[in-house]
């Protein structure tokens, strides 16, 4: 017998508006918004989108820089039985996955005209239109028709990180997204009294699913500048990309108050021991590093300080060698993942689907070492491991060592790159800090890198090629190194 469908986000907001109308649903740029107002705003937005012509089973791509307005639009789409995807007009240039996404949309809602919208119907989210919608004197309480296809209803389209390849679009059905939300609640200890700080746009489904988890519980979502919000001492949960967490910690004053109850959630990239220790030292909370993938609905385990983890009890993980056989303890191989929320395909990319999804499992592209007790250690991406004279090394450790030891570095990335001799060696892209001199940076790097690495190819960059999640695109860095001057 099929499980009953969960209530939609709007139905949940309806419930909280009745139970705690004056309770705080969210805080947006210093303004407290109660459940009664939040409920009214979502209903009005759903009515407005229905009047535009948005219908069940349609697919709507949404962009707006005001994250509260953006969230209203996403919840309204869900209430009408339409799937949504978040994108940013400001980040459109050159993003292949976004062009592919918009080409499949029935509707595009954005704050500026979008040339890539193709055949989709476009609605400009003008300030006057939005103000008129939210100023409506009343609303119909029944303006929603969620989940027309039950558990198989398409509700969201998110993107893969695109670290080593072009990002791909991942369709999430209700069964996938509901698992993601339930998993977040259980794995990260969200409760009805949680206050979740949003530090990144909803383009990352890990951010959106945590906000949805707060809705389900009646907790509070906070859209504020991170340093000020954390200084209030009221935040219980905050999710950061590793690069954002590192920048935040670097900006904190020495007397910043400790937050022992704070869940410092991070993921989407490697977290060094140094960053782990700094986060705990500066913020005082519990560091929770999730390992997983968008394709399997977020984190499948929490990694410890040393980068070792064990899958949650409802997750399956296997590590296979090149012949597809399980590796023995102490050996490494490709990590395959299976969760109750695993996606089924990439949208419109059959070749990538066939490569990554097989018999209900997802090939992560990560190399892991099998350890005793069902544990494992991440070694790095298969296509990112550095091969220096036959020795394979994960690049993140080298990058962190350089950032820690070289005072003039703002950012750094490494990859394998051809040297003038024709053999592969270490390639390094550097972004100097303001006032940092290239000669001094290279001198300090030479003192840090082992002589066994041999000659090193260095390129000075204005910015490193990173995905919207902050991950380094190493193939793009390698191309930059090959096209740039050699040092």
pLDDT tens-digit map of 95-134: 566 777 888 999 999 999 987 667 899 999 999 999 999 9
Closest alpha carbon to 50 in 69, 77, 86, 68: 77
For residue 6, what pLDDT is reported? 94
For residue 392, what pLDDT is reported? 66
Mean pLDDT for 463-473 is 81
SS3 state of residue 438: helix
CA distances from 219 to 35, 73, 196, 242 (A): 10, 20, 8, 25
CA distances from 257 to 227, 262, 281, 424 (A): 11, 12, 11, 47
Closest alpha carbon to 15 in 170, 217, 193, 213: 217
Mean of all residue pLDDT scores within the chain? 90
Query: Distance between CA atoms of 274 and 397, rounded to whole angstroms?
Result: 10
Q: Indicate the pLDDT class of residue 462, thresholds 50, 70 and 90.
A: very high
DSSP per residue over 204-232, as a string?
SHHHHHHHHHHHHHT-EEEES-HHHHHHT
Structure-model confidence comparison of residues 304 and 435, the more confident one? 304
Burial class (CB in 10 A: 0-12, 13-18, 19+), 373: exposed
20-62 pLDDT tens trace: 999 999 999 999 999 999 999 999 999 999 999 999 999 999 9
Structure-model confidence comparison of residues 4 and 452, the more confident one? 4
Domains present along the chain, CATH in parentheses: 9-224 (3.40.50.12780), 227-381 (3.40.50.12780), 386-483 (3.30.300.30)
For residue 247, what pLDDT is reported? 84
């Amino acid at each position: 017998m099929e499980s009953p469908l969960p209530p939609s986000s709007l139905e949940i907001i309806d419930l909280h508006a009745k139970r705690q109308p004056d309770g705080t649903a969210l805080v947006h740029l210093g303004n407290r918004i109660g459940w009664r107002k939040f409920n009214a705003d979502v209903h009005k937005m759903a009515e407005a989108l229905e009047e535009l012509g948005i219908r069940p089973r349609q697919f709507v791509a949404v962009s707006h820089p005001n994250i509260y307005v953006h969230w209203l639009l996403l919840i309204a789409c869900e209430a009408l039985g339409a799937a949504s995807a978040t994108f940013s007009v400001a980040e459109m240039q050159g993003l292949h996955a976004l062009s592919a996404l918009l080409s499949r949309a029935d509707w595009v809602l954005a704050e500026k005209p979008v040339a890539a919208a193709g055949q989709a119907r476009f609605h400009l989210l003008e300030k006057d239109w939005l103000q008129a919608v939210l100023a409506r004197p009343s609303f119909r309480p029944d303006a929603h028709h969620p989940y027309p296809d039950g558990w198989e209803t398409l509700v969201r389209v998110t993107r893969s990180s695109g670290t080593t390849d072009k990002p791909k679009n991942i369709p999430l059905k209700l069964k996938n997204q509901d698992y993601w939300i339930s998993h977040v609640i259980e794995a990260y200890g969200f409760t009805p009294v949680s206050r979740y700080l949003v530090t990144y746009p909803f383009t990352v489904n890990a951010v959106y699913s945590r906000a949805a988890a707060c809705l389900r519980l009646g907790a509070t979502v906070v859209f504020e500048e991170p340093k000020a919000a954390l200084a209030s001492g009221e935040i219980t949960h905050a999710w950061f990309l590793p690069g954002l967490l590192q920048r935040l910690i670097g900006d904190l004053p020495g007397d910043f108050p400790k937050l022992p109850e704070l869940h410092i959630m991070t993921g989407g990239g490697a977290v060094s021991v140094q960053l782990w220790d700094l986060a705990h030292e500066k913020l005082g909370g519990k560091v929770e590093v999730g390992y997983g993938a968008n394709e399997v609905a977020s984190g499948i385990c929490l990694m410890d300080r040393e980068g070792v983890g064990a899958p949650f009890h409802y997750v399956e993980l296997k590590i296979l060698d090149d012949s597809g056989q399980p590796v023995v303890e102490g050996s490494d191989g490709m990590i395959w993942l299976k969760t109750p929320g695993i996606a089924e395909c990439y949208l419109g990319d059959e070749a990538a689907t066939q490569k990554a999804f097989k018999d209900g499992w997802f090939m992560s592209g990560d190399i892991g070492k099998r350890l005793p007790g069902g544990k494992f250690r991440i070694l790095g991406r298969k296509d990112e491991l550095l091969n220096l004279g036959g020795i394979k090394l994960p690049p993140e450790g080298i990058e962190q060592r350089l950032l820690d030891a070289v005072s003039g570095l703002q950012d750094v990335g490494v990859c394998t790159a051809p040297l003038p001799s024709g053999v592969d060696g270490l390639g390094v892209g550097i972004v100097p800090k303001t006032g940092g001199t290239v000669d001094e940076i290279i001198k300090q790097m030479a003192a840090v890198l082992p002589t066994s690495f041999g000659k090193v190819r260095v390129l000075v960059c204005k910015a490193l090629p990173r995905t919207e999640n902050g991950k380094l695109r190493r193939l793009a860095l390698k191309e930059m190194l090959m096209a740039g001057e050699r040092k």
